[in-house]
Structure 1
């Protein structure tokens, strides 16, 4: 899918996968959440998402 065709805009990039990511799930709790991603090569990555205060 080409994001130019959807009108969507990227707001965050999580690195670490070399194969295409096939699923994303996240949990937001307070100002810090976790994000779990899985790619086609069977790798799973866990990231911490920190909210930025203005």
Structure 2
């Protein structure tokens, strides 16, 4: 049986459209939360999203 090679994927290279109220699942912790609103870091120009959890 031939198994496909595993490719390491940088999560910053994955693009999803996320809207406020969309459900988010954190596989590492098994936590479900909802997306809030987008923020841009004042100095670094990086995007963040608020959550309740």
- Determine which structure has the larger strand proportion and give its number: 1
* Structure with the greater alpha carbon radius of gyration: 2
Same fold (TM over 0.5): no
Q: Relative contact order (C-alpha < 8 Å, sep 6+): which is higher?
A: 1
TM-score by length of 1: 0.26
